[in-house]
Amino acid sequence: MLRMEEVSKSYQHRGQVVKALDGATIDIPSGDFVSVVGPSGSGKSTLLLMLGGMLSPTAGRIFLQEQSIYDLRSDGRARLRKENIGFVFQTFNLVPYLTALENVQVPLFLAGLDDKSQEERATALLERVGLGDRLDHKPTELSVGQQQRVALARMLANDPAVILADEPTGNLDPETADQVIGFFEEFNEEGRTIVMVTHDPRAAERARRTLRLREGKIVSQGKDELGSPRLEPSSLHVA
């Protein structure tokens, strides 16, 4: 499903070369649920952005369903993202002047669905995340946890095979965070592949396996889908 081959990302900072990611090779099969952990500045968000086709590597190749993402032109990458990937962010990125229903309708409108189909699908998705009684509420009229659930419903609008989440519980209290991770577990059980960057050890433990980064390198992996510890799996190479 997702694969990185000897991927590095470097940039210049005050005349010095900084390696945000250093020679990473990973294989994330279809239906996997991977948490990515490590200290701030270890390369977690860089890895996620590159997997999502939004940040080109300095070296190496990245594949989604055997398509080399960065061999495509920018319009091809955008189409690949729209057809395959759903994004979830810590800051939700909801449109403040739109209602919950309208926020979820945005990707459906962009996909060309008619008004009736947009409303029906957006309503069903909001009901799925427990917000069927908040359809006409704007973000400022919702709690932080409810805003994240609107973002989850919007992410599902185009039925993505891959979910990339950057600190999805970072702004949430423990009870709400637990609820959100429960939704991710449901999405994964439906066959969606999930890569989740998190600082929350409780959230990380709920994934099938964990990749740990340090100074741009993948240094270890936690449990596999059966809960057994694995530190040097065949699907993981540390450069």
Domain spans, the chain: 2-238
Residue 115's pLDDT is 96
**186 membership: H or E segment, kind and range:** helix 174-189
> Which positions ≥6 away from 220 have C-beta within 8 Å?
211, 212, 231
CATH 1.10.1330.10 fits 2-238, yes or no: no
Q: Above 60 in pLDDT, residue 232?
A: no
* pLDDT tens, position by position, 93-111: 999 999 999 999 999 999 9
Residue 142's pLDDT is 96
* pLDDT tens, position by position, 167-178: 999 889 999 999
Model confidence band, residue 216 (pLDDT cutoffs 50, 70, 90): confident
Q: Above 60 in pLDDT, residue 77?
A: yes
Residue 227's pLDDT is 40
Model confidence band, residue 16 (pLDDT cutoffs 50, 70, 90): confident
Residue the block writes with tokens 């759903």: 86
Residue the block writes with tokens 């936690």: 222
174: number of Cβ within 10 Å: 10
Residue 233's pLDDT is 37
Instruction: Tell me how far apart the alpha carbons of residues 31 and 187 are, in angstroms, rounded to a whole number.
Output: 10
Instruction: Tell me how far apart the alpha carbons of residues 79 and 18 are, in angstroms, rounded to a whole number.
Output: 31
Q: Regarding predicted confidence, which is higher, 75 or 236? A: 75
Q: Regarding predicted confidence, which is higher, 129 or 219? A: 129
Q: Above 90 in pLDDT, residue 224?
A: no
Report the range of poorest mean pLDDT among 28-32, 87-91, 185-189, 230-234. Answer: 230-234
Model confidence band, residue 91 (pLDDT cutoffs 50, 70, 90): confident
Model confidence band, residue 225 (pLDDT cutoffs 50, 70, 90): very low
Q: Regarding predicted confidence, which is higher, 228 or 126? A: 126
Least Cα distance to 224 among 50, 21, 27 occurs for: 27
Q: pTM of the prediction?
A: 0.89
Residue 185's pLDDT is 97
Across 21-48, average pLDDT: 92
